[in-house]
Structure 1
Amino acid sequence: MKFVFYANTDWYLYNFRLSTARRLQADGHEVVMLSPPGEFGDRFAGLGFRWITLPMDRASLNPLREAMTLRHLVRVLRREKPDLLHNFTVKCAVYGGAAARMARVPATVNAVAGMGYVFTSNDLKARSLRPVVRALMRATLDHRRSLLVLQNPDDADIFRRARLVARDRVHVIRSSGVDTRRFQPSSMSGRDGRLRVLLAARLLWEKGIGEYVEAARLLKAQGRDIEFVLAGSPDPGNPRSVDGEQVRRWAEEGAITWLGHVEDMPALLATIDVMALPSYYREGVPKSLIEGAAAGLALITTDQPGCREVVTRHGFDGLVVPPRSAEALATLIARLDDDRELLARLGAKAREKAIAEFDERSVIQRTLDVYERLLGTDAPRDSMQVRLPSA
């Protein structure tokens, strides 16, 4: 069978959906990657996947340009004739859902991981776009040959209450999964006694970047020897991206160590003690949190949709910080600096939860179960089964 994975960046497909594609490939299916041009796409060929580029601007609101994007997408689908199209992110779900109908694609899965800029920002542009996007979702996503996959129950409630998609066509699969064999606890962190804290994310203000930097300043002013590491790059396609020059100034000031994009996250996490994500963004389930959990790090995050799926109870499987409070974040980091027993206990509990709930092998199986429901008897059932080796 042929599957097309469509996202608004090649970076997303490579970092979040490659494992699912490789499972399908191992089972004898063809997977085609579809996205706008980018620096990650060329890597797909080395892994045996075809990559098709689409002239798509994530931030565009130009009707003519958007119509051309949709037209091009329909042409690609008519040419490729996939058995199933899997769309990722809100814009791709809307466009992919519409194009799939025009191209008569037999089955469509729309995956929305977090509600995105339009639904999370309160600026004028986002508020004005919200009713338009809702109308487009209602028109394109609610179809008998499609299913919607969300990453947390909060988002599922929004879709159901707004009647954007029929209740029986909404599935919750928490996260895109983490390879718990690759991400493992390490004895390297804390070996010199110095606490190392990491925030790893796209550099959006709503991820709590500003509060993280301010917490670093507060603790350094107290004379604490704590290293604050920031991993991630600005996102030019998002209006709420932190400017790269601003991040460089923070690094020059000595508040943080900025690494930019990190290829080898397991190696980095082996040197870290705490993963912090003081987000007030409507997350799906943050990849950085489940990777930190798998690596046995103590987690600090907010009680926001998506984040609360990973840290469920303050002091049990992580620490919960109020959003937009640098002072509260600094207090919790200082607490872990002073109480290394708590640090170790929270890390062990996070690892335990990652294995039980976020292992990518079980996440992939749940995704393939969704495919099988749509494809029905046309799906080769035996080859769609993922056999999980023991953890």
Structure 2
Amino acid sequence: NFIFSNKKSLLTFEHQSDRRCILHSLKVDEDRTVVIDGAGINIVDFPYSKEPLREIPVVLFASRLLWSKGLTDLINVKNSLHLEGVEFTLNVAGIPTPNDPDAIPLGFLEEAHNKGEINWLGKCDDMKELIKDANIVALPSVYPEGIPRILLEASSVGRAIISYNVGGCSSLIENDVNGFIIDKGDINALAGCLKHLVINADVRGRMGENGRKLIEGKFCSTIITKDTVNLYGYLLKNKAE
């Protein structure tokens, strides 16, 4: 509330979910807040490409290696769908965070790799190629995200995406349009949606095309930069008045 004692202050959010939370908790006027959709994606750096044709699709999980990012849910889903005869390869790439109490130990990843539950890739620097090689990108994180960059990048490349409904994920994903967004922790729904994507290449293709159009129209870096510059212009104008 101290910030808003200045009548010219303006609070900026990355997505509507955080904005609604602050509006509710601080009772701030909505016209003193603004949403700029994420950090923006350079669509030239992440060009659209059709997904690879393969008998067993690849689901990519690329993230900081934290339990709360949802890797174990994906492993459990992979194992349960395997019993139904539905197969996918779970590629896992990530940045180790050994000093974080939520860190996934390297030993767990190596054991899961040896058991065939994941394909452990380690730390990968070329995210574009990693996404390009995938058929689906999943991030069932259980703690509030912003608008996860991996999902923005995946949409730009033209991949169907899937996530739990946390943070700003719902501002990027529209159910059955460019992916699936699922109630947090609903592993049965996660399994059902992943199964639908794994066995329906045409659905993945449609979602990938829709995701690319959404990035071009709302999340590309030129739009985000323009909105940010306009915001600074507005603030400077108000300061001068």
Quick check: TM above 0.5? yes
- Aligned residue for 2:95, secondary structure, equals coil
> Quick one: structure 1 residues 159 and 235, their matched pair in 2 at CA, closer, same or farther if it must change by over 3 Å?
farther
Of residues 152, 163, 166, the one that matches 1:301 is 163
> Quick one: structure 1 residues 179 and 143, their matched pair in 2 at CA, closer, same or farther if it must change by over 3 Å?
farther
Pairing 1:170–2:63 present: no
Q: State the alpha-carbon separation in 1 of the partners of residues 101 and 227 from structure 2.
A: 33
Q: Given residue 12 of structure 2, which amino acid in structure 1 is its aligned partner?
A: V
Q: State the alpha-carbon separation in 1 of the partners of residues 221 and 124 from structure 2.
A: 20
> Quick one: structure 1 residues 195 and 184, their matched pair in 2 at CA, closer, same or farther if it must change by over 3 Å?
same
In the TM superposition, residue 288 of structure 1 has moved relative to its aligned partner by 1.2
Of residues 356, 375, 389, the one that matches 2:236 is 375
> Quick one: structure 1 residues 284 and 372, their matched pair in 2 at CA, closer, same or farther if it must change by over 3 Å?
same
1:330 counterpart residue number: 191
Of residues 136, 139, 142, the one that matches 1:280 is 142
Q: CA RMSD in A?
A: 2.6
> Quick one: structure 1 residues 168 and 196, their matched pair in 2 at CA, closer, same or farther if it must change by over 3 Å?
same
Pairing 1:159–2:30 present: no
**Structure 1 alignment gaps of length 5 or more:** 1-137, 380-391
Pairing 1:362–2:219 present: no
> Quick one: structure 1 residues 179 and 157, their matched pair in 2 at CA, closer, same or farther if it must change by over 3 Å?
same
- Aligned residue for 1:183, secondary structure, equals coil
Matched-pair contact (CA < 8 Å) for 1:142–1:166: no
Larger radius of gyration: 1
Deviations 1:52-96 (A, max 9, x none): xxxxxxxxxxxxxxxxxxxxxxxxxxxxxxxxxxxxxxxxxxxxx
Q: Given residue 286 of structure 1, which amino acid in structure 2 is its aligned partner?
A: P
Q: State the alpha-carbon separation in 2 of the partners of residues 277 and 328 from structure 1.
A: 14
Give TM-score scaled by structure 1 length: 0.55
How many residue pairs match? The answer is 239
Q: State the alpha-carbon separation in 2 of the partners of residues 259 and 165 from structure 1.
A: 46
Q: State the alpha-carbon separation in 2 of the partners of residues 378 and 237 from structure 1.
A: 43
Pairing 1:321–2:182 present: yes
Counting only pairs closer than 5 Å after superposition, residues 12-51 of structure 1 correspond to structure 2 as: none
Q: Given residue 207 of structure 2, which amino acid in structure 1 is its aligned partner?
A: L
Q: Given residue 15 of structure 2, which amino acid in structure 1 is its aligned partner?
A: N
2:207 counterpart residue number: 346
Q: Given residue 325 of structure 1, which amino acid in structure 2 is its aligned partner?
A: D
In the TM superposition, residue 274 of structure 1 has moved relative to its aligned partner by 0.5
Give TM-score scaled by structure 2 length: 0.86
Matched-pair contact (CA < 8 Å) for 2:43–2:220: yes
In the TM superposition, residue 223 of structure 1 has moved relative to its aligned partner by 4.1
Matched-pair contact (CA < 8 Å) for 1:231–1:260: yes
Matched-pair contact (CA < 8 Å) for 2:78–2:87: no
Q: Given residue 277 of structure 1, which amino acid in structure 2 is its aligned partner?
A: L
- Aligned residue for 1:301, secondary structure, equals strand
In the TM superposition, residue 164 of structure 1 has moved relative to its aligned partner by 8.1
> Quick one: structure 1 residues 176 and 248, their matched pair in 2 at CA, closer, same or farther if it must change by over 3 Å?
same
Deviations 1:250-283 (A, max 9, x none): 2222211222332211111111111112222212
2:67 counterpart residue number: 205
1:114 counterpart residue number: none
- Aligned residue for 2:120, secondary structure, equals strand
Identity of aligned residues (%): 27
Matched-pair contact (CA < 8 Å) for 2:142–2:166: yes
Q: State the alpha-carbon separation in 2 of the partners of residues 378 and 153 from structure 1.
A: 26
1:21 counterpart residue number: none
Q: State the alpha-carbon separation in 2 of the partners of residues 332 and 358 from structure 1.
A: 25
> Quick one: structure 1 residues 237 and 170, their matched pair in 2 at CA, closer, same or farther if it must change by over 3 Å?
farther
Matched-pair contact (CA < 8 Å) for 2:69–2:143: yes
Matched-pair contact (CA < 8 Å) for 1:142–1:164: no
Q: Given residue 200 of structure 2, which amino acid in structure 1 is its aligned partner?
A: D
Q: Given residue 335 of structure 1, which amino acid in structure 2 is its aligned partner?
A: H
Pairing 1:270–2:132 present: yes
In the TM superposition, residue 199 of structure 1 has moved relative to its aligned partner by 1.6
**Structure 2 alignment gaps of length 5 or more:** none
1:289 counterpart residue number: 151
Q: State the alpha-carbon separation in 1 of the partners of residues 35 and 98 from structure 2.
A: 29
